[in-house]
Copies of this chain bind each other. A is one copy, B any other.
Amino acid sequence: KNGSPMLASSDGAFTFNIKGLFQADAATYNQDSNLPAAVTARDLNSGTNIRRARVIFNGKMFSDFDYNLTFDFGGAGAEDVGRVHEAWVQYSGFKSAKFRVGEFAPSVGLADAGSQGGSAFLERPAAAEMARNVSAGDTRMSIAAFNARDRYLWSFAVTGNTMSSLNTAASGFNTVNNDEQLGIAARIAGTPVKTKDALIHVGLNYSGIINPADTGAAAATRYPVQLRERPELRVDATRLVDSGAINADSASVTGLEFGAQYKSLFLQSEAFDYRIERLNAATGVTNPKFTGWYVEGGWVLTGESRKYNTQTAAFDGVTPAANFDPASGHWGAFELVARYSTLDLNYHDQAALAADRIRGGQQDITSLGLNWQLTPTVRFLFQGQSVEVKRLNAAGDPIGQDYTAFAVRSQFGF
Q: Give residues in A with beta carbon < 8 Å to B.
A: 2-3, 5, 7, 9, 13-14, 16, 18, 20, 22, 24, 26, 43-48, 50, 53, 55, 57, 59, 61-62, 64-65, 67, 69, 71, 73-74, 77-79, 81-84, 87, 89, 91, 93, 101-103, 141, 160-161, 163-166, 168-180, 214, 216-217, 323-327, 374-375, 377-378, 410, 412, 414
Contacts and interface: CB of A to CB of B under 8 A. Distances in A.
Contact of A89 (B91, B103, B176, B412): B412
A43 B179 CA distance: 8
B171 A173 contact: yes
A93 to B, nearest CB: 7
A414 B82 contact: no
A62 B3 contact: yes
Given A20-B57, A43-B214, A67-B414, 15 more contacts: A22-B69, A22-B102, A50-B84, A50-B163, A53-B87, A61-B375, A61-B377, A62-B377, A73-B83, A79-B163, A102-B412, A164-B169, A169-B175, A170-B173, A171-B173
Nearest to A379: B89
Given A102-B24, A177-B47, A323 B62 contact: yes
A103 B50 contact: yes
A61 B59 CA distance: 21
B69 A53 contact: yes
Contacts of A174: 78, 168-169
Contacts of A82: 71, 73, 81-83
Given A3-B16, A24-B87, A178 B43 contact: yes
Contacts of A14: 3
Of the listed residues A3, A9, A53, A374, the one surrounded by the most CB atoms of chain B closer than 10 A to its CB is A3
A414 B59 contact: yes
A24 B216 CA distance: 24
B79 A164 contact: yes
A97 to B, nearest CB: 13
A410 B102 contact: yes
25 contacts: A5-B16, A16-B18, A18-B18, A26-B160, A43-B214, A44-B178, A45-B176, A47-B179, A48-B180, A50-B103, A50-B163, A55-B69, A62-B323, A62-B375, A65-B412, A67-B412, A67-B414, A71-B73, A79-B83, A81-B83, A89-B378, A89-B412, A93-B325, A93-B326, A169-B176
A12 to B, nearest CB: 11
Contacts of A2: 61
A164 B236 CA distance: 13
A187 B217 CA distance: 47
Contacts of A50: 84, 87, 103, 163
A43 B168 contact: no
